[in-house]
Chains A and B, each alone.
Chain A
Amino acid sequence: MIDIDRGDWLAEWTTRHATGFVYLDFLTGVDRVTSTEVVAHVLNPDSGERVLARAVVPSDDPLIDSLSTLYIGASWHERETSEMFGLTFVGLRDDRPLLLRTTLGRPPLRHDAVLAARVAVDWPGTAEPGGSPARRRQRPAGVPDEWLDS
């Protein structure tokens, strides 16, 4: 995994593109809460080499250059990453949501996006063995600590 400065994102890929890395495999995001990593995987179809690289995008300034002028296929990946993580790809001409019918609410793939259905439905696991009242708050696997506080 190569780390690229956010400011150098387009420039670095432009250089690699010029040396034969012309096949974009995927571009996606990873939510690190205070920041988001934008990760791209590109292949050189002639040599078979691959490059996996990421840039860190701060959550209070969720902007990064679009690679769509370099890799046409990046536009779909960036549209999806944008709607799922709440990022803006500067220079992405077609910035319509790719999959989501609505962009209301938190971007779905962010960790702080609440799955309302899981909050509304009573977890069968709160019961204690033997039916005694819950001694401590048991949370479903993967549920953040501050959930279900009511």
Chain B
Amino acid sequence: MLPVSPAARPATVQAFRLAGDPEVRVVLANVGLACCSMEVEAAIRTGLLVAEGASNDAASSTILLVSGTVTDALAPAVVRIHEDLGSSARIVAFGACASTGGPYWDAPTVTKGIDQLLDVSTYVPGCPPRPDALVAALSAMTREDRA
């Protein structure tokens, strides 16, 4: 196991409301590993996800977004972040790389999907997925909570 510096932790766990469905509130921690994190940022910047600020919600309601290629070098950091959140955060594998290794499935330095190491609640396909796809996936995930 490589040593993981404290800087590997996400800056904030933030609460958001879905612009298209403001009753839906999600608590997200984005592990922005590669290009897919641009789409997460786009969802926030274009207002599809409306930021409500830092969250003090229980860790179990946090959704951990793994956005981007999980390299073998960084995989322990992702696991560590999940542990730091109390290991109860649900994981969204956002994009092909986080789901399966994506186009880099053949690379010797790539972990073929974060589900090799952690349980994934939702896989969002795409390379990258549209910001709308993130919102749709979050809505579907939380629909069961609200039901």
| A108 engages B106 (CB within 8 Å) | no
Set of chain A residues within 8 Å of B72, measured between Cβ atoms = 101
Bitwise interface map of B from 96 to 109 toward A, beta carbon under 8 Å scored 1, else 0: 00000000011111
Set of chain B residues within 8 Å of A117, measured between Cβ atoms = 105-108
| A100 engages B106 (CB within 8 Å) | no
Residues facing B in A76-130 (CB within 8 A) are 100-101, 105, 108, 115-118
Set of chain A residues within 8 Å of B109, measured between Cβ atoms = 100-101
Q: How far is the CB of A79 from chain B (nearest CB, A)?
A: 15
How far is it, in angstroms, between the C-alpha of A85 and the C-alpha of B109 when the chains are bound? 16
On chain B, the number of residues with a Cβ less than 8 Å from chain A's Cβ atoms is 7
Q: Which residue of B lies closest to A115 (CB)?
A: B106
How far is it, in angstroms, between the C-alpha of A117 and the C-alpha of B108 when the chains are bound? 8
Set of chain B residues within 8 Å of A115, measured between Cβ atoms = 106-108
Q: How far is the CB of A72 from chain B (nearest CB, A)?
A: 25
Interface presence of B73 (CB below 8 A)? yes
Q: Which residue of B lies closest to A101 (CB)?
A: B73
Bitwise interface map of A from 25 to 63 toward B, beta carbon under 8 Å scored 1, else 0: 000000000000000000000000000000000000000
Q: How far is the CB of A118 from chain B (nearest CB, A)?
A: 5
How far is it, in angstroms, between the C-alpha of A139 and the C-alpha of B72 when the chains are bound? 29
How far is it, in angstroms, between the C-alpha of A118 and the C-alpha of B107 when the chains are bound? 9
| A118 engages B73 (CB within 8 Å) | no
How far is it, in angstroms, between the C-alpha of A22 and the C-alpha of B105 when the chains are bound? 40
Q: How far is the CB of A57 from chain B (nearest CB, A)?
A: 24
| A118 engages B106 (CB within 8 Å) | yes
Residues facing A in B86-134 (CB within 8 A) are 105-109
Q: How far is the CB of B137 from chain A (nearest CB, A)?
A: 28
How far is it, in angstroms, between the C-alpha of A116 and the C-alpha of B108 when the chains are bound? 8
How far is it, in angstroms, between the C-alpha of A5 and the C-alpha of B106 when the chains are bound? 37
Q: How far is the CB of A144 from chain B (nearest CB, A)?
A: 15
Q: Which residue of A lies closest to B72 (CB)?
A: A101
Q: Which residue of A lies closest to B101 (CB)?
A: A117
How far is it, in angstroms, between the C-alpha of A101 and the C-alpha of B75 when the chains are bound? 13
Set of chain A residues within 8 Å of B107, measured between Cβ atoms = 115, 117
Q: Which residue of B lies closest to A117 (CB)?
A: B106
Set of chain B residues within 8 Å of A118, measured between Cβ atoms = 106
A-B contact pairs, 13 of them (CB 8 A): A100-B109, A101-B72, A101-B73, A101-B109, A105-B108, A108-B108, A115-B106, A115-B107, A115-B108, A117-B105, A117-B106, A117-B107, A117-B108
- Nearest first, the 9 closest Cβ-Cβ pairs linking A and B are A117-B106, A115-B106, A118-B106, A101-B73, A117-B105, A101-B72, A108-B108, A116-B108, A101-B109
A115-B106, A117-B108 given. 13 additional CB < 8 A pairs?
A: A100-B109, A101-B72, A101-B73, A101-B109, A105-B108, A108-B108, A115-B107, A115-B108, A116-B108, A117-B105, A117-B106, A117-B107, A118-B106
